[in-house]
Amino acid sequence: MNMTIERFVKYLQFEKRYSSHTVIAYENDLLQFFGFLQETFGSTDETQIQHLHVRSWIVNLLNEGLTPTSIRRKLSTLKGYFRFLLKRQVISHNPMLKVVSPKIGRKLPVYVQQPDMQRLLAVPPQEDDWLAWRNYLIIDLLYTTGVRRSELIALRMEDIEWSSRQLRIRGKGGKERVAPFGALLDEHLRLYLKLRSAAFPQLDYRQLLLTAKGKPLYARYVYIVVKRLLSGVTTLDKRSPHVLRHTFATHLSENGADLNAIKELLGHSSLAATQIYTHNSIERLKQVYRQAHPKAEKQEE
């Protein structure tokens, strides 16, 4: 092993106290980089490495099929390594200053189509089955209000403001917001609470949604319920509670809701986090255009 790489590895182990897994990953990245330099340029002298050598390695990694995310991680290793050499005066310049990492395409959020959600919620449970109503409400609340799973679990009886038809939500960082709901969810909540009281007349828990044993819900429990019910209407690979939050926001955007309003309903601190939901709407508009506009049809031919 190159002596400077060995010094860097010891620095990570004993001074930075990185985990063994992280140290091995850094070491492998450096060995791969210097192997490329030797094979391509015939030299591994750190003092002669320029930004063009690193860029050549990036191109090689892309050609090998590595994702931008994996390449950025490897470049992070090189940045740390060359900063280490610069501080110890092994090199006089940092070749990474002129290296631009490949951009990572932002993934669009996965969501359930509107007809599928309508089908899922179209037939409420039997009126005397409190557990089936509890499961139905898990889906209904996640989709109708856009709450996070943790926020759903934390909902208490007193968080329902019946007169104004809104829920008080305790979000990330202790921030509170309100989530409005309509007449139908109002009706469902009242029926559920009536059945819940009959099933557990002596209950002390203030949490709104409970397990079959009358205990507060927990994260895994909610995930299992959501995945099972979504499996009946969609073939999406992801069928988690967060998919319903994405679905809530995407359907609002598709139906013309203002982006700032969606931001407030989701409890986002920044509009940038909400803007991703406009992409799905734009893609839907493009699809409508391609299908309906005669000029678009001609262009596709």
Tell me which residues of the chain have a pLDDT lower than 50.
Answer: 298-301
Q: Which of 69, 98, 127 is the last residue of a domain?
A: 98
Indicate whether 30 and 118 sit together in one domain.
no
Q: Is residue 82 included in any domain, yes or no? A: yes
The string of pLDDT tens digits covering residues 186-238 is 999 999 999 999 999 887 778 999 999 999 999 999 999 999 999 999 989 99
Nearest one of 246, 173, 179 to 208, comparing CA atoms = 179
Q: Give the tokens for residue 14.
A: 């004993």
| Active-site residue flag, 279 | no
Active-site pick, 188, 196, 245, 251: 245
Instruction: State the CATH number of the domain containing residue 256.
Output: 1.10.443.10
Q: Is residue 298 included in any domain, yes or no? A: no
| Active-site residue flag, 172 | yes
Overall number of domains in the chain: 2
Instruction: State the CATH number of the domain containing residue 83.
Output: 1.10.150.130
Q: Give the tokens for residue 157.
A: 């009886």
Indicate whether 125 and 270 sit together in one domain.
yes
Place of tokens 């029926």: 191
Q: Is residue 264 included in any domain, yes or no? A: yes
Active-site pick, 172, 190, 206, 215: 172
Question: What is the model's pLDDT at position 108?
Answer: 74
Q: Is the dihedral of CA 241, 247, 250, 251 positive or negative?
A: negative
Question: What is the model's pLDDT at position 301?
Answer: 44
Domain span holding position 94? 3-98
Q: Is residue 172 included in any domain, yes or no? A: yes
Could you tell me if 243 and 230 are in contact, meaning their C-beta atoms sit under 8 angstroms apart?
A: yes
Question: What is the model's pLDDT at position 10?
Answer: 94
Q: Is 44 helix (H, G, I), strand (E, B) or coil?
A: coil
Active-site pick, 7, 72, 73, 148: 148
